[in-house]
């Protein structure tokens, strides 16, 4: 009986350690993704209007800024953004343009 209980307690401790390791890996991956997104945003902001990086061809040439989603390569493929581009429905971003002006 004691051997079984020790074995079960050891398995529970191993499971808990695995959970912590997976959580740490998940957090590290989230941090990396956040840093990569910030770096892309910074590089795009630098060359958004006119290229200032002086690289030929500019690495930001294919990127576009979606008003709802941020910087993306090419046109945004989110259903709401596609519908707004087609003119089917307005893209709800939290502001109302002056209709009568």
Dump pLDDT digits (tens) for 18-53.
999 999 999 999 999 999 999 999 988 888 888 888
Do 69 and 36 share a structural domain?
A: no
Q: Which residues contact 66 (CB under 8 A, 6 or more apart)?
A: 72, 75, 76, 78, 81
Cα-Cα-Cα-Cα dihedral of 58, 61, 38, 79, to 10°? -170
CA distance 12 to 20: 12
Do 53 and 36 share a structural domain?
A: yes
Do 45 and 9 share a structural domain?
A: yes
Do 66 and 50 share a structural domain?
A: no
Do 51 and 11 share a structural domain?
A: yes
Identify any residues that bridge with 72 across adjacent strands, giving them in sequence order.
64
Which of 11-15, 18-22, 55-59, 84-88 is predicted least confidently? 84-88
Number of domains in the chain: 2
Examine residue 101 and state whether it is found in any structural domain, yes or no: no
CA distance 63 to 47: 10
Do 48 and 73 share a structural domain?
A: no
Do 73 and 25 share a structural domain?
A: no
Do 50 and 31 share a structural domain?
A: yes
Identify any residues that bridge with 63 across adjacent strands, giving them in sequence order.
73
Q: Which structural domain range is residue 9 located in?
A: 1-60
Identify any residues that bridge with 89 across adjacent strands, giving them in sequence order.
none
pTM: 0.61
């Amino acid at each position: 009986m004691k051997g079984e209980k020790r074995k079960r307690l050891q398995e529970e401790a191993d499971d808990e350690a695995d959970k912590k390791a997976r959580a740490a890996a998940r957090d590290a991956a989230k941090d990396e993704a956040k840093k990569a997104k910030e770096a892309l945003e910074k590089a795009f902001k630098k060359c958004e209007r006119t290229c200032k990086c002086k690289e030929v061809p500019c690495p930001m040439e294919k990127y576009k800024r979606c008003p709802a989603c941020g910087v993306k390569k090419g046109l945004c493929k989110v259903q709401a953004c596609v519908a707004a581009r087609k003119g089917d429905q307005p893209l709800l971003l939290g502001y109302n343009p002056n209709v009568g002006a």
